[in-house]
Amino acid sequence: MDYNEVINEVFSKLMKAIPTKWDGRSSIEYMKNNGCHNWKQMEWPGWYFQFMCENVLSKDNFFSIPGPIYGKVEFDGFKCIPWDFKAHSSNSGTKVPTNGYDEICKALLEYDSVGFIIAKGEATFDDPGQSFKKWHDSLKGRTSIYELQREMRGAKSRRRKTSFLLEELDFIVIKRDTLKYCGSFQKGMINSNGAKRNPKVMLDLSDPRLERHVFKVSNDEKKNK
């Protein structure tokens, strides 16, 4: 089976198992109640999609979950080539940060191609009173270290996503000769401890030079807006 066959089968499997409307509260509670360790994360749509992909695609050993590891970077799954699962809000433009540049290069040397399965959709955000954030903080039971550090810096809290309406599944395949068309993220940036951040590969969903397979999602809620 080549990765083109994989793409069609993945879309079929995911659409049978994953809802098109992701409510933040119920999605976080689902992760919490089903053993997902990342239910406390602020960017819950990405973790929810990854968790659902892992559960659906690992059935009958269709995918190997997790995928291969390069350095400190672990791909989410493997089927013919390494794959990663991402969620991307269409509200925020077309650019999607992915994995470390060096680690993707190593994967390309071994498999010639790597793939990204991207759930693209429209997000809605918390109200001015941050009722969703307060609910999530209460569910966690305590304030995270990240949040405490933010408060000490006096930085504003980012608005949380409260729901996600799935519009399409994008399958992006990067090859050795197309990596050059990808941008970079975090290049030249430094952590709070002074260490350099590992540059990440940035995908631009609007770049026609990338191999992109797009599956539109039938969504009644979108039609009724």
Rg, the chain, Cα only: 18
* Cα–Cα–Cα angle for 163, 165, 169, rounded to 5 degrees: 130
Q: Model confidence at 154, in pLDDT bands (50, 70, 90)? A: low
**φ, ψ (nearest 5 deg) of residue 67:** -90, -165
User: So what's the pLDDT on residue 223?
Assistant: 45
User: So what's the pLDDT on residue 90?
Assistant: 92
Percentage with pLDDT > 70 across the chain: 84
| Poorest-pLDDT segment among 89-93, 123-127, 190-194 | 190-194
Cβ 94 vs Cβ 206: under 8 Å: yes
User: So what's the pLDDT on residue 1?
Assistant: 65
- Tens of pLDDT, residues 106-148: 999 999 999 999 999 999 999 999 999 999 999 998 766 656 6
User: So what's the pLDDT on residue 153?
Assistant: 53
User: So what's the pLDDT on residue 3?
Assistant: 86
